[in-house]
Structure formats: structure tokens, C-alpha cells
Structure 1
């Protein structure tokens, strides 16, 4: 299953905007500099009171559909 590591820095208010559906996708950079877009609903699995901060591994199906998100480190 393809995976990519991304850096995410979203404040509590930015996460709320995604949660409320004002944004359907999240756009962020991978650790190797590529732009990555994935569904905003994925943040619900990793959001804390401080937002979403750190490096996360995104896994995708062979067809390119989002499957999972896992925290690798916090910053």
C-alpha cells in the first residue's frame, strides 16, 4: 500500500473549519517537499485540543484513495 509522510501544522480554529465542512480537503507538504491533498475528515482521527501538529504517515490504496493516517511525531 503506497504511503507518504507529511508535515501538518493546523491550529484548533483551522481544524474546526475542516471539521465543520468549510473545507473538503487538506493540502500540505510531504517531508520530501511534494504537495499532498487528502480528505479533511481524516483529521478527526488525529486532532487534539491544540489542533494537528507533527509528522503523519498517510496510506493510500493502489487506486490512490485515502486509507489511513498515523502520527509519527509531534512538534
Structure 2
């Protein structure tokens, strides 16, 4: 498995839009400056009362498919 650390700042309203299926993917900047696109359903695993804010590690398969997301530092 491979991983990349991304910075996420999503409001509650943005998270709700992902949850309702209005968006299929999230586009975020990695800590090293690359853009990363991953499935919107992944946000459901890390959303809190204030939305999603912090640095998260995304793991993906050798084929480049999303596998898992975990918080590293929330703020």
C-alpha cells in the first residue's frame, strides 16, 4: 500500500453536499504540494461537528484506488 498526507478544510455544508451525493470526489492538496482526488464517501469516516479540518493520511492500492483515510492532526 502507498500513502499520501493531505490537508483538508471542509465546512459542515461541504461535507453535507458530499454525503448527499452531490459530489463524487474530493480534491485536496497534499502536504508536499500535489493535488489528490479521492472518493467523497471517504469524508464520512472523518467528519466531525465542525466539518473536516486537519491533516489526514490516505492509503491507496498499487492500482491507485482509495483504501483508507485516518486523521494525523485535527485542527
Relative to the length of structure 2, the TM-score reads: 0.98
Alignment gaps of 5+ in structure 1: none
Q: What's the offset of the Cα at 1:49?
A: 1.1
Aligned residues: 75
CA distance in 1, matches of 2:59, 2:29: 15
Q: What's the offset of the Cα at 1:3?
A: 0.2
1:23 aligns with 2:17: no
Structure 1 stretches of 4+ moved >3 Å: none
Relative to the length of structure 1, the TM-score reads: 0.98
1:53 aligns with 2:53: yes
Aligned to 1:42: 42
Alignment gaps of 5+ in structure 2: none
